[in-house]
Structure 1
Amino acid sequence: MGGHGYDVLIKDALVFLFAAGVVVPVFRYLRLPTVVGFMLAGVVLGPYALGSLAHVQPLLEYVSVSDPEAAAPFAELGIMFLLFLLGLEFSFGKLWSMKRAVFGAGGLQAALSAAVIAGAVYWAGLPAEAAIICGLALALSSTAIVMQMLVEQKRAARPVGRAALSVLLFQDILVAPILIFIGFLSMGEGANVSSVLVEAAVNGLIAIAFIMLIGRFALRPMFRLAAQVGGRDFLMALTLLTVVGAATITATAGLSLALGAFLAGLLLGETEFKHQTEVDLEPFKGVLLGVFFMTVGMALDLPSLVTQPGVIFGGLAALLAVKFLIAFVACRLFAGDRLVSIETASLLAPAGEFAFVVVAAAGTAGVLDAGTSGRIAAIAGLSMLLIPVLGRLGGWAASWLEGDEPEAHLDEDFSDMKGHVIIAGFGRVGETVARILTVEDTEIVALERSAVRLVQARKGGWQVFLGDAARPEILHSAGADGARLFVVTVDDVAAAEAMVTSFHRLHPDVPIVVRARDHEHAARLRLAGATHVIPDAIESGMQMAGRALTEFGYDSETVRSRLAAERGEEYQRS
């Protein structure tokens, strides 16, 4: 390679790092989501903004990206690591339990969206083949942005996260058939389509089976060996090999890189190295995804927005409306209630990163002309910029409509019970509280919003009931009128506040004990009506300090005295 190529590479790398280390933090200071910050940085520093002015002012060349395509491999790595980390969170059992949502909601959403969009584009005057490609490209949603947002909000494993992931997984599976279909359109008349289809299906199944075999029989021994002889350095190298290797296998078979990475995460998630891997890869995933989001911003065709604003913005509005309605219906039928469906549809309505892949492949095959490709890319890019905003609007709409839900009651009626304790949230903390109170012969009514945790708790012999403790009718059924104490153990900040507020309005004289994340959360809970707030950060610090003092040789009485004094000061400050 020549020196000029290295110069461009180094300069573009500096621009990316400048955006990640300076520009995006400025956007975050202005309270913009990280995803939006990276995408806006890509727009500003890309070839259609500052980059287009470099010939007028040469200095701008040093603060803009000369070759956006050079960042594409790094962006692909970011998507791979995101899907890998998502795979770590899901077991094969959980994935199998989602099959109805994956193939039901995902299949219906993809089929209807592609058909409606293709029909509209064909009616607008495009040839049938080009219209079909446009429909398939815009029917897909953004796995990278949607799941990144849900992971940051700690909602990936909740109903909205599961519903969104179900549809997105089906869409990822569709990428390979779509690309194969584009290849058919560029084939000659004498090509044997059936043989190509059979070959692609066989190759895909062989690749997936090969990954599964390696994961089942070789992955755990290899990681144990690396941990024994090398520690974290070798584990990191082996993790990278696992992710990139599995992605390469699926890509070689004609499937997406992301699917292979997801399968690798599922397999590694079954081992004892799951949590260490999550910690080691988290920083790399964030930086690489940032590169991806910047490349999306750079691909936004600003000249098209200026020359054809009616077409671009009209198409954008139509796309969001159509995909929202279809995704809502699909999720409502197969993946959740209307509130979950509203939130999920809001996240899935925009287009996704694979739209750029499909459009590029269609352009290379001669199916889409440059003008159409530019317009589709502009609509897709703008819609992706709106995902964080639409996600918030969907959450707001679901919260607003929640009061319109029909009244709910528990499986049993405890409205006449007296002197009992209501526990909202039955995870580890809730179960611990219940176990200690039960020893003291205290009657418990436990409420849990998660059906999964409900089943687990009942298998353990606990009488736990499905219900949201923020709803007055649920609290009434749980016996709030005669309760002696209300305990909130959920770790969701907004949900805990809603539960405290709801109970305090009903019975302001009944003590409320609630778990908080930190000092700020504790202050908000007190304003909501909590009587006693237990910040997790304080108690974790107390336990760790006590263990440290014990290791230093202090006797148990001294340790208790020191911790009691410190605890009192901390709770006064909070």
Structure 2
Amino acid sequence: MAVAAAFTFAEPLAYLAAAVVAVPLFKRLGLGSVIGYLAAGVAIGPAGLALVADDERVLHVAELGVVLLLFLIGLELQPSRLWSMRRDIFGLGTLQVVASTAALAGMFALSGFDARIATVAGAGLALSSTAFAMQILQERGHSTLPFGRRAFSILLLQDMAIVPLLTLVSLLAARGGEQPQSLGEAATEVAAVAGAVALVVFTGRFLLNPVFRILAGAHAREIMTAAGLLVVLGAAGVMQSVGISMALGAFLAGVLLSESNFRHTLEADLEPFRGLLLGLFFMSVGMTLNIAVLIDSWHIVLGFALATLAIKGLILYGASRLFGSGNADALLISATLPQGGEFAFVLFAAAVAGGLFTQQLASILSAVVIVTMALTPVITAAFDRVIAELRERGVAATAFESFEETRANVLIIGFGRFGRMVAQMLEAEGIGITAIDNSPQRIREAAKIGVKVYYGDATRADVLRAAGAGEARLIALCMESQPTMRKSIEIIRADFPGARLFCRARDRLHAAELIRTGVEFQIRETVESGLVFGRHALLELGIPAERVREVEEHVRRLDLERLALEAQGDTEGSLELLHMPAPPSRSSRGSDEAA
């Protein structure tokens, strides 16, 4: 029994050890984490050290990584964001997917493959790797440039396209010799699918926000994480029960929660599960690769890989030019997105499960994807030289032009009475804000006045990152809790050093502490209201307005001097200034001098 337990325990150790060794190594080589996971799977699978016995069982569990990935993609697809990018997403992106699928399917059909197999193979290779391409763009600092944003739009459409493509695989697999359904059976199946979709939509639209609001009130982070997993797996299970891909249910749930107050917290909570399970999925795919078949078919793999890179590159270049990109931008897009992507493995695995592909064909096509990924960094480096030549000749003078956003990106943390006034000032100038708070009550109060506030914990770097702290030009810490603000400042300074910090101070001691930490701006929450109150009191007592202004200037100056001394630890010097009277009125001094 002990031996059996040790053997069972050895399998997860093999997965973890292989990933820990392979992924950093391949990332250091510039090939990306996806290829690292695939290589790790080959190493521990039947073709390598044979450390894992049942790769099919692991693959079924690892498919949950794809389900979570699609849920998180759905979370990003807010209607407002889709609308602003609609031309590039639904125009350029759709053109690329359709044209690439048709051209690559034609290539496979001319090579002698059945039309159904050619269609699925072409569709799989038409999709680029979102993780791979975005990593290249971010590492090179191109993700915010015009061509980087256009490339992201194409990737976004490809991510959405996986859902109908998975459905297409199911339909094509179902045509493999089965008797056609009767009209009654077909109508029943359609009704079941419609009912499942309606159930997911109704739950996401009307039930999830109130449930998450109740759970947030319990302040138990693990329960929020469990609820997020329950939503994803529940929606996936409902869709699977009527014969539709689990991915569709997860995707629908993500879209329905994209406008939820709890979107950022859900994204931060589920991201680690998504990363681990998706890595496990890629390793499982790697274990299914038949090395003997690849060695025997190396010329086929290399030929299809080079043809895929050339066909997709030409289509990407032409489509980008058609939608208004300059010559250099179109070249850079075609150099960044010609590879096959992680969703190809999903489609090929679904095709094998449906009996459409043999395992040998799936291994060959998966190897084609891997080769295209491995060649992409080389292509990108070569295109950098081409762009440099074009720039020298003046052909690509505007290829790398960038521009500042017309509106500042401000993250407000804490949406009580103080944060609400800050938001009002910024929005009055048309500056966009993102607000987060950990109080469901304050979130409800903000919703009553038409302000969207997200639920989030300011002491978690993953939540701050999901809320946009990495891109924010200014972060306003308006919460009441000093320990929470202290920890949040530490995290922001460590993980988001580019953001300027503006902080609300509870009192003088807190303000002095904030000055010592080096925040860009701090103010006590009562100082301005106290000065205004005192000003009106003096006016009511008959003090001339000019004298009131002088007294206010004097108090402000002394307050700043005292705060500077307290920040240096000189409390006694600060107290000496506390009761210093204002100097005589300037008008009275002028009269005395004249006399």
Residue number among 405, 408, 430 corresponding to 1:428 in the alignment: 408
Q: How far 1:138 sits from its partner (Å)?
A: 3.1
> How big is each residue's C-alpha offset from its partner over 1:256-297, in whole Å with a ceiling of 9 and x where there is no partner?
433433332333331222232333233333322322332343
Which stretch has the larger CA shift, 541-550 or 73-82? 541-550
1:124 has 2:111 as partner: yes
- Secondary structure at 2:210's aligned position in 1? helix
Q: How far 1:13 sits from its partner (Å)?
A: 0.9
Residue of structure 1 in register with 2:98 after alignment: 111
Change in CA separation of 1:43 and 1:270 when aligned onto 2, cut-off 3 Å = same
Distance in 2, matches of 1:196 and 1:104, equals 37
TM-score where L is the length of structure 2: 0.61
Read off the aligned partner of 2:108 and give its amino acid letter.
V
Distance in 2, matches of 1:142 and 1:553, equals 44
Q: How far 1:309 sits from its partner (Å)?
A: 1.8
Read off the aligned partner of 2:173 and give its amino acid letter.
I
Change in CA separation of 1:268 and 1:372 when aligned onto 2, cut-off 3 Å = closer
Residue of structure 2 in register with 1:76 after alignment: 63
Residue of structure 2 in register with 1:179 after alignment: 170
Residue of structure 2 in register with 1:328 after alignment: 317
> How big is each residue's C-alpha offset from its partner over 1:239-264, in whole Å with a ceiling of 9 and x where there is no partner?
11112222333444444433433332
Structure 2 contact 68–250 (Cα < 8 Å) conserved:
yes
Q: How far 1:221 sits from its partner (Å)?
A: 0.4
Residue number among 231, 246, 249 corresponding to 1:257 in the alignment: 246
Residue of structure 2 in register with 1:93 after alignment: 80
Structure 2 gap ranges (5+): 413-425, 432-468, 473-491, 516-558, 570-595
Residue number among 535, 546, 550 corresponding to 2:511 in the alignment: 550
- Secondary structure at 1:50's aligned position in 2? coil
Change in CA separation of 1:369 and 1:424 when aligned onto 2, cut-off 3 Å = closer
Structure 1 contact 243–261 (Cα < 8 Å) conserved:
yes
Structure 2 contact 327–396 (Cα < 8 Å) conserved:
no
Residue correspondence of structure 1 range 270-419 to structure 2 within 5 A: 270-333=259-322, 341-363=330-352, 367-369=356-358, 371-386=360-375, 404-405=395-396
Residue of structure 2 in register with 1:247 after alignment: 236
TM-score where L is the length of structure 1: 0.63
Read off the aligned partner of 2:511 and give its amino acid letter.
T
Distance in 2, matches of 1:309 and 1:3, equals 44
Q: How far 1:5 sits from its partner (Å)?
A: 7.8
Change in CA separation of 1:122 and 1:8 when aligned onto 2, cut-off 3 Å = farther
- Secondary structure at 1:48's aligned position in 2? coil
Read off the aligned partner of 1:237 and give its amino acid letter.
A
Structure 2 contact 335–383 (Cα < 8 Å) conserved:
yes
Identity %: 34
> How big is each residue's C-alpha offset from its partner over 1:67-110, in whole Å with a ceiling of 9 and x where there is no partner?
33233244322223333333333312223454544443344333
Residue of structure 1 in register with 2:475 after alignment: none
Residue of structure 1 in register with 2:158 after alignment: 167
Structure 2 contact 45–287 (Cα < 8 Å) conserved:
yes
Residue of structure 1 in register with 2:498 after alignment: 536
RMSD: 4.8
Paired residues, number: 450
Structure 1 contact 118–134 (Cα < 8 Å) conserved:
yes
Q: How far 1:9 sits from its partner (Å)?
A: 4.4
> How big is each residue's C-alpha offset from its partner over 1:144-184, in whole Å with a ceiling of 9 and x where there is no partner?
65567778989499433223112331243222122211211
1:24 has 2:4 as partner: no
Change in CA separation of 1:36 and 1:318 when aligned onto 2, cut-off 3 Å = same
Residue of structure 1 in register with 2:36 after alignment: 37
- Secondary structure at 2:395's aligned position in 1? coil
Change in CA separation of 1:540 and 1:460 when aligned onto 2, cut-off 3 Å = closer
Structure 1 contact 36–388 (Cα < 8 Å) conserved:
no
Q: How far 1:558 sits from its partner (Å)?
A: 6.0
Q: How far 1:318 sits from its partner (Å)?
A: 0.7
- Secondary structure at 2:165's aligned position in 1? helix
Read off the aligned partner of 1:167 and give its amino acid letter.
Q
Q: How far 1:353 sits from its partner (Å)?
A: 3.8
Distance in 1, matches of 2:341 and 2:185, equals 27
- Secondary structure at 1:125's aligned position in 2? coil
Read off the aligned partner of 2:82 and give its amino acid letter.
L
Distance in 2, matches of 1:424 and 1:553, equals 29
Distance in 1, matches of 2:375 and 2:175, equals 34
Q: How far 1:196 sits from its partner (Å)?
A: 8.0
Distance in 1, matches of 2:502 and 2:229, equals 34
Residue of structure 2 in register with 1:470 after alignment: none
Distance in 1, matches of 2:230 and 2:69, equals 15
Read off the aligned partner of 2:97 and give its amino acid letter.
A
Distance in 1, matches of 2:7 and 2:324, equals 48
Structure 1 gap ranges (5+): 52-63, 411-422, 433-456, 463-489, 494-516, 522-534, 566-574
Distance in 2, matches of 1:293 and 1:227, equals 34
- Secondary structure at 1:117's aligned position in 2? helix
